[in-house]
Amino acid sequence: PMHRAPRTRVQRRPVHGVLLLDKPLGLSSNDALQKAKWLLRAEKAGHTGTLDPLATGVLPLCFGAATKFSQLQLD
């Protein structure tokens, strides 16, 4: 049987700012956030609202210190 090497943990890094994502059809807001967080290897991420998976449009993704901004947007 084939043995897989143990997965190494991805080194996360502090990323701060807002990314305006043109969310495509069929992708949930959380899926989009998780993909961007993985690509950027960001420590902390959040989004300012939720777009339906069937919706397209601008989805602001917040990273690091900007996640505090996303909380202000929701209040």
The residues annotated as belonging to the active site are 52
What does the chain come to in residues?
75
Report how far apart, in Å, the C-alpha atoms of 35 and of each of 11, 13, 51, 55 are: 16, 15, 15, 18
Q: How far apart (Å, rounded) are the C-alpha atoms in residues 75 and 67?
A: 13
Q: How far apart (Å, rounded) are the C-alpha atoms in residues 47 and 7?
A: 28
